Amino acid sequence: MRKSTFTLLTIIFFTLAAQPLLASRQEQAAPATETPVEKDALEPLSGKWFLKKGDTPIYYYQDGDRLVDLFSYHTQDSNEDGIDNIRLRHDEKFLIMESQGYPNHPTAIFPNSDNPNSIRVQQFTFRLPLEPILADEVTRLPMGPIGTAMNGVVFFNPFEIEGMNAVEGYTEVWLDSCCGHPQQTGVYHYHKYPTCVKSPYKDDGNQHSPVIGFAFDGFPVYGPYEADGTMAKDLTGHQALDGCNGHRDDARGYHYHVTPGRFPYIIGGYAGLVETSNNPGLRRKSTGLVVDNTQAGERHKAIIKTVRPGTVTSGSIHRIEFELTPENATRRKLPVGPPTWMQIGPVEATKISREGNIVTGEFEFPAETSLGVWFDCHLEFGENASPMVLKRNDVLRVVDK
C-alpha cells in the first residue's frame, strides 16, 4: 500500500507549523473477525456492555444475540506516534473513549485541489452512556462531532461549514472514497456511511448490519441493512425509521441506521438524552430534526463520466475502466497522464494505466468487503503535496461470487 509522498518543502512547512507529519495512506491490520466468548467469562457493566478483564481489558457489546468486541481491531497506532488510535475505560455511567480521531484506513491526500485542509491528530474524550435513555423530545444536531465511529473518527451532521448539504451539494469532491475529509482545524470526519470502517463481522446484506459507531446519546449506529436483502431506509409501517434515522426492534431496542443516498445519511437528531460534554454545541439546548437544504439546480458536470463495470464480485481481482468527460463538455482542463493513485471504496488500485480519456485500474476486492452498497471512487493526479483530484459518488458495488 502506497503512502503519501511529501516534498521537502511540505515537510519543512509542517515542521515549522508544529504539526505532526501525517501519512495520508494507512496500513491496515488483518480484517476484523468475531471472537467467540462466553458471557459467564465477562463482567456485566450496565446496559448492553460487558468487560473482559486482563492486561488489556476488552469491552464487549450485546448486539442482538451476539457478544461482539467492537474496538480491539481499531486500537492500532496508525500515525506511529506511540499512542493507540483509541483508548477505553469506563465509570458507573459511561464508556469513556480517548481518541486521536485519526483514520486507520486509506484516505485521499489532503490538502488537494479541492480541499485546502490537512488531517491532524486530535485529543478527543467522549463519554458514551452505558445505558442510553430515550428523551421526550429530539435534540438538534450541533456542528462538529455528533458521534463516533468505532475507530474513533467522528461523525458530523449532514452540513458543511457554510450550511450546504455536504453529501448532495453541487459538487462530488467534498469527501474521499472512504467518505471522509478534514475540516479547517484538521478534524477528519464522516458525513455519510463510512464504507471503510471495519466491523466485527462482514456486512453481507444477508442479516442485520453490525454496529459501526455510537451517537452521543449512547445509542448504537448500525450499517444500512435491517435483514436479508432489506435496507433499513426502505422499511415502511411501524418498522420505518423515524426522523432521527432510528427505530426499535425486540433484539436491539432502539438504534440508528445509516441511510446511503438518503438524507440525513447517519442520524437526523438525537432520540436519547445526550451527554453534553462531548460537544460544547450540545450545551446550547436546541430541539428538532435537521432538514435537507439541497438546492435545485445543475450540479457541476462530473469529469468521471462512467465507471465500468458497475458490479464486481468479492474475493476477486477486477479491471475497472473510468471514462473521463471531454474537456469541451465540462469546461475544466483534464489532467495529463495517468493517475498516481486510485481508490474505490476501501480498495486501492494496484495497477494504473491510461489511453486517451480511458483510465484503467486493477483492483482486488477482499472477501470481507461489504456487499451491496455503492462505493465512491477517487482519482489523484500528481505526486506533489496538493494533487488534482477527480471524484464520483456511487459508482460500483460488490456482490458475492
Is the same domain home to 60 and 203? yes
**CATH at residue 388:** 2.60.40
Is the same domain home to 161 and 266? yes
pLDDT of residue 170 exceeding 80: no
Provide the whole-model pTM.
0.90
Is the same domain home to 137 and 251? yes
Domain boundary among the residues 296, 318, 349 is at 296
Contact 399, 377 (CB under 8 A): no
Q: What is residue 19's three-state secondary structure?
A: coil
pLDDT at position 294:
81
Q: Is the peptide bond before 200 cis (omega within 30 degrees of 0)?
A: no
pLDDT of residue 16 exceeding 90: no
Is the same domain home to 258 and 372? no
Is the same domain home to 248 and 370? no
pLDDT classification of 330: cutoffs 50, 70, 90: low
What does the mean pLDDT of the chain come to? Answer: 88
Q: What percent of the chain has pLDDT over 90?
A: 71
pLDDT digits (tens, 9 = 90+) for 122-169: 999 999 999 999 999 999 999 999 999 999 999 999 998 888 888 886
For the segment 33-51, the average pLDDT, to the nearest whole number, is 85
Is the same domain home to 105 and 155? yes
Is the same domain home to 345 and 199? no
pLDDT digits (tens, 9 = 90+) for 172-228: 657 899 999 999 999 999 999 999 999 888 999 999 999 999 999 999 999 999 998
Domain boundary among the residues 252, 270, 296 is at 296
Domain boundary among the residues 263, 296, 329 is at 296
Number of domains composing the chain:
2
Which distant-in-sequence residues (6+ apart) come within 8 Å of 25 by Cβ? 1, 2, 3, 4, 106, 107, 348
* 319, containing H or E segment: strand 316-324
Nearest to 58 by CA among 46, 70, 44: 70
Is the same domain home to 289 and 309? no
pLDDT at position 8:
32
Is the same domain home to 197 and 53? yes
Is the same domain home to 328 and 370? yes
Q: How many CA atoms lie within 13 A of 235 on its CB side?
A: 24
Phi, psi angles (nearest 5°) of residue 108? -70, 165
- Cα(339)–Cα(23) distance, integer angstroms: 19
pLDDT at position 174:
74
pLDDT digits (tens, 9 = 90+) for 93-122: 999 999 999 999 999 999 998 889 999 999
Structural domain for 331, as ranges: 304-399
pLDDT at position 1:
37
Is the same domain home to 286 and 370? no
154: amino acid identity, one letter:
V
* 367 vs 170, higher pLDDT: 367
Is the same domain home to 119 and 59? yes
pLDDT of residue 2 exceeding 70: no
pLDDT at position 17:
36
For the segment 242-262, the average pLDDT, to the nearest whole number, is 97
For the segment 229-237, the average pLDDT, to the nearest whole number, is 96
